[in-house]
Amino acid sequence: MKPAKTNHIGRSRLPAVIAAITVFLISGWGYAAPEDEKNNREKAESCVHVDLAKVETRSLEEVIRAIGTIKAFQNVVVHPETNGIVDSVHFKEGENVGKGDLLFTIDDAKIRAELKARQAALEEAEANRENAYLVYQRRQKLYKQDLGTQEARDEARTRYQALTAQVKRIKAEIENIQETLDDTRIRAPFDGIAGEQLVDPGQLVSTETALTSIVEIDRLKLSFTVPERYMGRVRTGQEIRVSVDAYPDKKFSGKVYFLDPQIEPSTRSLKLKARMENPDNLLRPGGFATIELITGINENVPVIPEEALIPTRKGYMVFEVRHSKAMGRDVKIGLRKPGMVEITQGLQGGETIVQAGHISLDEGDRICSE
C-alpha cells in the first residue's frame, strides 16, 4: 500500500509567502496611519458654534413689589348742620365742584322770621338802655348836688346795667340765628367731585342725614404692605411706580410719606402709605394697583443675559471667551431683572461670554468666530 500524500508548502515557496504577508501587513499599516493623523488634525481644528454676548454695564434699581389699594386723598360725606326741609339742590352728580360752592339750601323762612323778631327786640332794648342811661346820668348829677337820694341813683344805675346786659344777650341770640341761617347754605368743603345726590327737595333732613359725598381725586393715596424683612430698606420719601390693569401701558409715580410705627402681628408686615398725583383723573379710589417701591440704585454694575448662567454645586459659572477659547469663570450674582442678572464678582464690563450653546461646551473648546 502506498503512503498518503501530505499537502505542505515546500521550502522553496515559504519565503515568498512570508514576504507576501509582510507586504500586505505593511501596506495595511501604511494606509491607516495617515487617516488617524487626519482625524486628530480635524479634531484639533474643530470649533463649537455658540451665541456670544458682551458683559454690559448698567444701573439697576433695587425694587420691592407689592399690591396696594388706591384711596382718595380726601373723602367726606356731607351732612347738614341744622334741621329743616331741603329747598334746592345746586349741583349735578359726578361734576367737579370747588371749595365753597353751594350744594344744597334748606328752607330758611322760619329762621329769617326769628331773626327779624330778634333784631326788632334789639332795637327796643337799645332804645330802653339809652333812656335808662340818661335817667342814671340825671340822678347821678342830682345826687352830687345833694338834691337826690343815693337810693334813686342806684336804682337808675341798676336799670341801665340790666338793659345793657339785655342788649348783649339779644346780640348773641342774633349771632346764633345768623349762624343757623348760614348753615342752611351747605357748601363744598374742598375741591373735588360730587358724589350721588342722596336727598331731594322737600325732604326733611336732620344733622344725621347724609346729603352727598365729595371726593378729591386730583391727588390720591396708596396703602400697601411689605414683608417685615424689608423694614430696614424702606423710608419716607422713596419713589414708587404704580400700574393698574385698566392702563397696562401707563406708569404712575408717587412718594412714600408714612411708615406704620409698628409691625402688624398677624401678617408680620409693615404698612406704608404714598401720595401720587392724578391730574387727568384716570385713577379712581377703591381700585387695586401693582406697586414697585424703589429702595436703591446700583450704578454702573456688570450685567449679563440670565441664560448665560450655568448652575453649579457652589453657585454659578459662565464661559468667558478668551483667545477664541471657552474658559470657565465662577461668578456671584446680585439683582435679577427680566432676562438679565447683575454680576457682583467674576466678570467686568466689556468681556465676552457664551450666552447660549454652552450645553455642548467643555473647558478649553475653541469657539467658532463669525
The CATH number linked to 333 is 2.40.420.20
Higher pLDDT, 36 or 304: 304
What is residue 364's predicted lDDT score, i.e. its pLDDT? 87
pLDDT tens sequence across 81-126: 999 999 999 999 999 999 999 999 999 999 999 999 999 999 999 9
Whether pLDDT at 16 is above 50: no
What is residue 36's predicted lDDT score, i.e. its pLDDT? 55
* Domain assignment of residue 46, yes or no: no
174 and 113 in one domain?
yes
* Domain assignment of residue 288, yes or no: no
* Domain assignment of residue 356, yes or no: yes
Where does the pLDDT of residue 254 fall: very low under 50, low under 70, confident under 90, or very high at 90 and above?
very high
What is residue 204's predicted lDDT score, i.e. its pLDDT? 95
Whether pLDDT at 57 is above 90: no
Where does the pLDDT of residue 214 fall: very low under 50, low under 70, confident under 90, or very high at 90 and above?
very high
Residue 16 C-alpha cell reads as 515568498
Whether pLDDT at 2 is above 60: no
* Domain assignment of residue 85, yes or no: no
Task: Tell me the average pLDDT across 257-280.
Answer: 92
Radius of gyration of the chain (CA): 50
What is residue 4's predicted lDDT score, i.e. its pLDDT? 43
Q: Which amino acid is at 142?
A: L
Task: Tell me the average pLDDT across 69-77.
Answer: 94
Higher pLDDT, 1 or 269: 269
Where does the pLDDT of residue 3 fall: very low under 50, low under 70, confident under 90, or very high at 90 and above?
very low
Q: Which amino acid is at 115?
A: L
The 8-class DSSP code of residue 313 comes to S
Higher pLDDT, 107 or 58: 107
pLDDT tens sequence across 172-194: 999 999 999 999 999 999 999 99
pLDDT tens sequence across 304-335: 898 888 898 889 988 888 888 888 888 888 88
Q: Write down which residue in 183, 201, 227 finishes a domain.
A: 183
* Domain assignment of residue 141, yes or no: yes
Residues in the chain: 370
Nearest of 260, 227, 211 to residue 85 by alpha carbon? 211
* Domain assignment of residue 170, yes or no: yes
113 and 55 in one domain?
no
Helical packing angle, 109-144 and 150-183, nearest 10°: 160
Question: How many domains, in total, are found in the chain?
Answer: 2
What is residue 39's predicted lDDT score, i.e. its pLDDT? 52
* 366 vs 193: CA distance, rounded Å: 70
The separation between CA 263 and the C-alpha centre of its own chain, rounded to angstroms, equals 19
For residue 166, the enclosing domain spans: 108-183
Sheet containing 84-89: give its strands across.
185-187, 102-106, 84-89, 204-205
* Domain assignment of residue 137, yes or no: yes
What is residue 296's predicted lDDT score, i.e. its pLDDT? 84
Task: Tell me the average pLDDT across 42-57.
Answer: 77
Whether pLDDT at 58 is above 60: yes
Q: Which helix (H) or strand (E) holds 116?
A: helix 109-144
176 and 116 in one domain?
yes
* Predicted TM-score (pTM) of this structure: 0.62
Q: Write down which residue in 129, 158, 183 finishes a domain.
A: 183
Average pLDDT, the chain: 85
* Domain assignment of residue 348, yes or no: yes
What is residue 14's predicted lDDT score, i.e. its pLDDT? 45
CB 260 within 8 A of CB 41: no
Q: Write down which residue in 135, 153, 183 finishes a domain.
A: 183
For 59, phi then psi, to 5°, come to -105, 125
What is the residue whose three cell numbers read 338802655?
129
Where does the pLDDT of residue 199 fall: very low under 50, low under 70, confident under 90, or very high at 90 and above?
very high
